[in-house]
Amino acid sequence: MCDLSSCTVMIVDDTETNIDILVEALGSDFDLRVAMDGETALEAIADETPDLILLDIMMPGMDGYEVCRSLKASPETRDIPIVFLTAMSEEQDEARGLALGAVDYITKPFSPALVKARVRNQLELKRYRDHLEDLVRERTRQLVLTQDATIQSMGTLAEYRDPETGGHIRRTQRYVRILAEHLKNQPKFQDRLNDDAIELLVKSAPLHDIGKVGVRDNILLKPGELTEEEFEEMKRHTTYGRDAILASERLLGEDSFLSVAREIAYTHQEKWDGSGYPRGLKGEEIPLFGRLMAVADVYDALISKRVYKPPYPHDTAVAMILEERGSHFDPDIVDAFLELSEAFRKIALEHADFEEEREMLSA
């Protein structure tokens, strides 16, 4: 964002007299550059972007309209304010120039004082617009940091509650990312899995088991098999997770970033054939993010050491996931998992919690 006295104004005109008048009018206030044809102007602008362009329309070769159209077509130059200077005074000529993206239109013969005033006004507007864009970027950055901090703090709470959760969170985050990135190019999923949605999924994944903070220690940390009654209590972690996230979500209003985390926490234990919990959803009734998390969660549980079981080898875990294709898991997601299984193994190895797990993954 330039200080007005240091702003660069480019004059593009094929008439030396016009250039002399403009240099005389503007030279004491702005840093000026000059080009006498469209092609030269585009080359100079590519080398160093000016803050504003005064552009003649009627020039030999490439006219001003073509120059403007070329500049507006490029992301690097489309935001440069362009003021047309022309002897073409018909209303349709002005309309055409403004339609191409020019910010102003001055007819010849022009008043140097008028040109100077309009250039100054357009540069002031540019400074204000740039300032607003900076504020928006900073506000967006702060919102993203707030989202990350909120999710991280809630995920850390789950880690403190269950010491085995830390590595599990890191691994499942990476599993769901590669699954989603793989599926986003398939027509069936591309509308749901755009880049923004995938980032939110990855951010939210650490909260899938947040509800376990509400499960009693004698159940959550039990070293043996759960009784039927204990398992019913363990199953409530999906509802506890949904309710905990929903309480925060209400403070943020509808469509908050936590809606994805709530969806994952509540539905990642549902099964494709309807035999899961808490609602017994079936097939595509289960939200996509819940279905993705289901595969990531179960694979990681299989290859991980737990107080109640040793880790399974990678190949055994893959075979067990495949066996549940179409019953526990979405068939399309299992197919993607099979193609990515080696990537899953590498993630598990890189973020393994115990040497025993590394040994089984390397076998």
Q: What is the CATH number of the domain that holds 28?
A: 3.40.50.2300
Residue 189's pLDDT is 95
What average pLDDT does this structure show over 144-158? 70
Residue 192 CB: number of other CB atoms within 10 A?
Answer: 15
Q: What local confidence, expressed as pLDDT, does residue 166 receive?
A: 62
Residue 151 lies in a domain: no
Average pLDDT over residues 183-193: 93
Mean pLDDT of the chain: 88
Residue 52: pLDDT band (50, 70, 90) is very high
Count H helices, E strands: the chain? 16, 5
Q: What are phi and psi of 53, to 5 degrees?
A: -125, 130
Q: Judge if 258 and 334 occupy the same domain.
A: yes
Which tokens is 247 given?
A: 């309480």
In a domain, 242, yes or no: yes
pLDDT for 114 beyond 60? yes
Residue 169 has pLDDT above 90, yes or no: no
Is 149 within a domain? Answer: no
On whether residue 143 sits in a domain, the answer given is no
If asked whether residues 186 and 252 sit together in one domain, one would say: yes
Average pLDDT over residues 161-165: 62
Residue 87's pLDDT band, with cuts at 50, 70 and 90, is: confident
Torsion of CA 38, 42, 48, 50, to 10 degrees: 60
Residue 162: band (very low, low, confident or very high) from pLDDT cuts 50, 70, 90:
low
In this structure, the answer to whether residues 197 and 306 fall within a common structural domain is yes
Task: Give the end of a domain, one of 91, 119, 134.
Answer: 134
> Which of 4-8, 27-31, 52-56, 92-96 has the least mean pLDDT?
92-96
DSSP state of 106: E
> Are 269 and 329 contained in the same domain?
yes
Residue 305: the pLDDT is: 87
Regarding whether 90 and 171 lie in a shared domain, the answer is no
Same domain, 227 and 347: yes
Please indicate, yes or no, whether residues 176 and 284 belong to a single structural domain of this protein: yes
- Residues 216-256 have pLDDT tens digits of 989 988 888 899 999 999 999 999 999 988 888 887 766 67
> Is the pLDDT score of 2 beyond 60?
no
Residue 144 maps to a domain: no
Q: Per the domain annotation, does 328 fall within a domain?
A: yes
DSSP state of 363: -
Predicted pLDDT of residue 167? 82
What span, in angstroms and rounded, lies between the C-alpha atoms of 349 and 175? 12
H helix or E strand, kind and range, residue 330: none
Same domain (yes/no): 308, 166: yes
pLDDT of residue 353: 83
- pLDDT value of position 337: 98
Phi, psi of 329 (to 5 degrees): -115, 155
Burial readout 37-51 (b: 16 or more C-beta within 10 A, e: otherwise): bbeebbebbeeeebb
User: Residue 326, by phi and psi: left (phi above 0), alpha (psi -120 to 50) or beta?
Assistant: left
pLDDT at 112: 86
pLDDT of residue 267: 98
Q: What region, left, alpha or beta, does residue 277 occupy, with left being phi > 0 and alpha being psi -120 to 50 degrees?
A: beta
Pick from 204, 196, 186: nearest CA to 293 = 204
Q: Which of 278, 173, 266, 273 is nearest to 232 (CA)?
A: 278
User: Measured on CA atoms in the order 279, 283, 287, 290, is the torsion positive or negative?
Assistant: positive
Q: What percent of the chain has pLDDT over 70?
A: 92
| Residue 118 in tokens | 């309009």
For residues 313 and 179, membership in a common domain is answered with yes
- What pLDDT shows up at residue 237? 95
- As given in the structure block, the two tokens for residue 340 are 């990515």
Are 203 and 345 found together in one domain? yes
Judged against a pLDDT cut of 60, whether residue 1 lies above it is answered with no
Check whether 116 has a pLDDT greater than 60.
yes
**In terms of Cα–Cα distance, which of 293, 282, 284, 283 is closest to 260?**
293
Domain count for the chain, please give it.
2
Question: In the prediction, which pLDDT does 3 show?
Answer: 64
**Rg of the chain over all Cα atoms, to the nearest angstrom:** 31
pLDDT recorded at residue 254 = 63
**Domain with 224 in it: what CATH number?**
1.10.3210.10
State CA 169 to chain mean position distance. 21
Residue 161 confidence (pLDDT) above 70: no
- Among 1-5, 72-76, 77-81, 324-328, top mean pLDDT goes to 324-328
Identify whether residues 305 and 232 lie together within a single domain.
Answer: yes
Query: CA–CA separation, 168 vs 68, rounded Å?
Result: 55
Q: Do residue 96 and residue 42 come from a single domain?
A: yes
DSSP 62: S
Q: Is residue 225 part of a domain?
A: yes
Two tokens, residue 293: 């998390």
Per-residue confidence band for 90, with pLDDT thresholds at 50, 70 and 90: low
Instruction: Flag whether the pTM goes above 0.75.
Output: no
The answer to the question of residue 321 being in a domain is: yes
Please check whether residue 152 is in contact with residue 202, taking contact to mean a CB–CB distance below 8 angstroms: no
Report the DSSP pairing between strands 52-56 and 104-107. Answer: unpaired
Confidence of residue 309 (pLDDT cuts 50, 70, 90): confident
Domain final residue, candidates 134, 150, 185: 134
Q: In terms of residue numbers, what domain contains 288?
A: 162-362
